[in-house]
């Protein structure tokens, strides 16, 4: 059969994945090229068939949601037509086991070993590299934030403000909306730079490369801040409560903010990259337009421009959800090496909001309605 990769060989090959990225772009490119050359040399000197079979086996296990390579190898061995194929399958399973053990068990958090879990629900477990970050890991923290948000803005807040005078928050709203515009531009720029330029992502079908992307730490660092941005966007509803705009706290508004935070939190917490990169890009692009509108609407009437384009903000959001729905369905029907359950979840979420925002548009702008809508649109 030839010599399998040793633990040292595997560690050398995968070292780049667990190296902290605090170097310049030139150093990253040089190390990537050196790693690729080393990999080619390893495949020439070691047993190429066993290594290639191991990669194929690992890819198939990921596609089937982390099925145990040993169990999957047993299935393949039973279907093998020759003893040579059965031996190659066993060698591939052994190589995958070494790769996984060497990659993750020594890299546990706080000196503990990371135990592999190949159960059907293992993808719900936080990634070992970021589970100790604030708000990451256990869902208790984000659940508490959402519980406070729903109780405070839907139940308690409106009752407390019932007999109080509405707050005039014009300066705060102007600053808040301008800050949201700036942050949306910043995160859209980061997505294009890190995902589509540096990582070379495909716009159509992109694998989840969180284990191999050399920029994973930078991406998830800013991904965590993107989660914090979604937490900050909950202030949209808080401002409605303080201004006694209870008619704006609609089912669509509350559901949109809640699911937006849950989706982004799951994305970062489970270390899902690749196909999901289009979401922050489109979402931030829409927010640039949307929060620009709200910043202008918060200006005093004497200097406020004519905001005739309000309905087009809604159209922009409807188009966003349609594109995200179609884009999320690609990994469902095509082998993109991307988690299909998460792709289905994103497609269903986009379809839900495509319907709800379309219904909002028809009710408020359909049938030649030209006046201000009775329910104010608030985006994600």
Q: What are the backbone dihedrals phi and psi of residue 121, each rounded to the nearest 5 degrees, phi first?
A: -105, 20
Q: Give pairs for 69-76: CB < 8 Å, separation 24+.
A: 69/93, 69/96, 69/97, 69/100, 70/97, 71/118
Q: What is the maximal distance between C-alpha atoms in the chain?
A: 85
Helix (H) or strand (E) holding 36: helix 25-45
Residue 187: burial class (beta carbons within 10 Å; 0-12, 13-18, 19+): buried
- pLDDT tens-digit series, residues 249-262: 899 999 999 999 99
Kindly report the pTM of this predicted structure. 0.65
Give CA 291 to chain center in angstroms. 22
What integer pLDDT is reported at residue 146 of this predicted model?
94
Q: State the Cα–Cα distance between residues 78 and 91, nearest whole angstrom.
A: 15
Q: State the Cα–Cα distance between residues 103 and 121, nearest whole angstrom.
A: 21
Is the pLDDT confidence value at 111 over 60? no
Q: What is the DSSP string of 61-93?
A: HHHTTS--HHHHHHHHHHH-SSHHHHHHHHHHH
Residue (of 172, 142, 189) closest to 285 by Cα position? 189
- pLDDT tens-digit series, residues 192-230: 998 888 888 888 888 888 888 788 888 888 999 999 999
Sign, CA torsion 373/375/376/380: negative
- pLDDT tens-digit series, residues 38-75: 655 554 444 555 566 666 655 665 554 445 555 656 66
Residue 331 in tokens? 């990994």
Which positions are catalytic?
Answer: 256
């Amino acid at each position: 059969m030839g010599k399998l990769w040793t633990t040292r060989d595997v560690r050398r090959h995968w070292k780049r994945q667990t190296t902290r990225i605090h170097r310049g772009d030139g150093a990253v490119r040089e190390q990537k090229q050196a790693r690729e050359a080393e990999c080619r040399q390893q495949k020439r000197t070691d047993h190429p068939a066993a290594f290639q079979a191991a990669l194929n086996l690992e890819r198939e296990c990921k596609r089937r949601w982390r099925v145990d390579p040993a169990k999957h190898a047993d299935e393949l061995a039973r279907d093998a037509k020759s003893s040579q194929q059965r031996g190659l399958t066993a060698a591939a399973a052994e190589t995958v086991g070494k790769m996984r053990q060497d990659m993750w068990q020594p890299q546990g958090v706080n000196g503990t070993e990371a135990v592999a879990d190949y159960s059907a629900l293992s993808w719900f477990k936080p990634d070992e590299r970021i589970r100790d970050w604030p708000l990451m890991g256990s869902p208790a923290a984000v659940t508490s934030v959402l519980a406070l948000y729903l109780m405070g803005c839907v139940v308690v807040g409106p009752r407390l403000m019932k007999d109080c005078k509405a707050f005039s928050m014009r300066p705060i709203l102007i600053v808040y909306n301008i800050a949201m515009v700036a942050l949306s531009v910043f995160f859209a720029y980061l997505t294009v730079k890190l995902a589509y330029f540096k990582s070379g992502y495909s716009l159509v079908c992109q694998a989840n490369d969180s284990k191999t992307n050399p920029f994973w730490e930078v991406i998830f660092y800013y991904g965590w801040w993107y989660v914090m941005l979604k937490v900050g966007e909950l202030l949209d509803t808080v401002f409605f409560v303080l201004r006694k705009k209870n008619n704006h706290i609609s089912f669509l508004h509350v559901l949109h903010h809640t699911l937006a935070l849950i989706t982004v939190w799951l994305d970062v917490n489970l270390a899902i990259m690749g196909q999901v990169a289009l979401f922050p890009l489109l979402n931030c692009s829409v927010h640039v337009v949307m929060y620009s509108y709200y910043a202008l609407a918060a200006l005093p009437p004497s200097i406020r421009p004519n905001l005739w384009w309000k309905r087009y903000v809604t159209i922009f959001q409807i188009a966003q959800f349609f594109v995200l729905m179609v884009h999320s369905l690609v990994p469902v029907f095509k082998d993109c090496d991307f988690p299909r359950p998460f792709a289905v979840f994103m497609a269903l979420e986009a379809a839900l909001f495509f319907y709800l925002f379309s219904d909002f548009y028809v009710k408020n702008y359909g049938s030649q309605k030209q006046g201000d809508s009775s329910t104010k649109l608030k985006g994600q």
